[in-house]
Amino acid sequence: MLSSQQLPCTQLGVCTNGRFQRRVPFLVRAEQISAPSISHQDKAGRRQVLAAGVTIAPWLLLSYQKSPAFAAENAKGYIPVTDKTDGYSFIYPFGWQEVAIEGQDKVYKDVIEPLENVSVTVFPTSKESIRELGAPQEVAEALIKRVLAPPSQKTELLNAAEHEVDGKSYYTFEFVAKAPNFTRHALSTIAIGNGKFYTLTTGANERRWGKMKDKLNTVVDSFKIFTVYKT
């Protein structure tokens, strides 16, 4: 079992003085930024407004059409994100909005279903490959229990695997986190490069997983890191 000392906790920003210290997890913060209460009629009306906005204002997409990533994913309804400073890219579903959350490099979420979101964290590390932390399953279990979910939630790792893209190793895993009033079904992918530890996590309420899983798998599979050359 991977111990907290084996995790790059200092680099991840989750420990002090060499000891593990839990961050306030994104799973909780995503729920906290939701609207206090939204009636069924309000939800339907807001979705109609969003749909109308897509219909009457297609010019809003023109600024993205110059991007090769957008050209590849336009038909699927995704928007590309590229961070040239930190060296990563991914796509997220059209209609999600960007929000600012402390400790997260980027966050996009659905305005009506706040548990449907994607977040990216980036922290310095002295490691050169994700493999240095251990096997996919043990690293995933440690991150889920100690970083991605609070102690009050019951978590279960469903699967974990490794893949390579352009010579870089990624660990991707699927898990559920059960709180008293909701269960979140999530996907994460982690990688190391540019002296940084990258984590992308996306997910949805368990009751909507069947509807959202294909989109969320597309999001997590789209995450790539690339070399940033210092000038």
Among left, alpha and beta (phi > 0; psi -120 to 50; other), residue 194 is left
Q: Which amino acid is at 26?
A: F
Q: Is residue 64 part of a domain?
A: no
pTM above 0.85, yes or no: no
Q: Is residue 68 part of a domain?
A: no
Question: What is the CA angle 36-39-43, rounded to 5?
Answer: 100
- Residue 2's pLDDT band, with cuts at 50, 70 and 90, is low
CATH number of the domain encompassing residue 205: 3.40.1000.10
Q: Is residue 91 part of a domain?
A: yes
**How buried is 22 (Cβ within 10 angstroms: 0-12 exposed, 13-18 middle, 19+ buried)?**
middle
The yes-or-no verdict on residue 149 having pLDDT over 70 is yes
Q: Is residue 213 part of a domain?
A: yes
* Section 68-80 average pLDDT: 61
pLDDT given at position 72? 44
Q: How many domains does the chain have?
A: 1
Q: Which domain holds residue 138?
A: 20-35+77-225
The yes-or-no verdict on residue 208 having pLDDT over 50 is yes
149 or 65, greater pLDDT: 149
Q: Is residue 40 part of a domain?
A: no
The yes-or-no verdict on residue 213 having pLDDT over 70 is yes
Question: Could you read off the pLDDT of 106-121 as tens digits, one per residue?
Answer: 999 999 999 999 999 9
Q: Is residue 6 part of a domain?
A: no
Q: Is residue 120 part of a domain?
A: yes
Number of CB atoms found within 10 A of residue 11's CB: 17
pLDDT given at position 7? 55
pLDDT given at position 230? 81
Q: Is residue 156 part of a domain?
A: yes
- Residue 31's pLDDT band, with cuts at 50, 70 and 90, is very low
Question: What is the CA angle 139-175-125, rounded to 5?
Answer: 30
What are 92's two structure tokens? Answer: 């997220």
DSSP string for 157-188: EEEEEEEEETTEEEEEEEEEEE-SS-EEEEEE
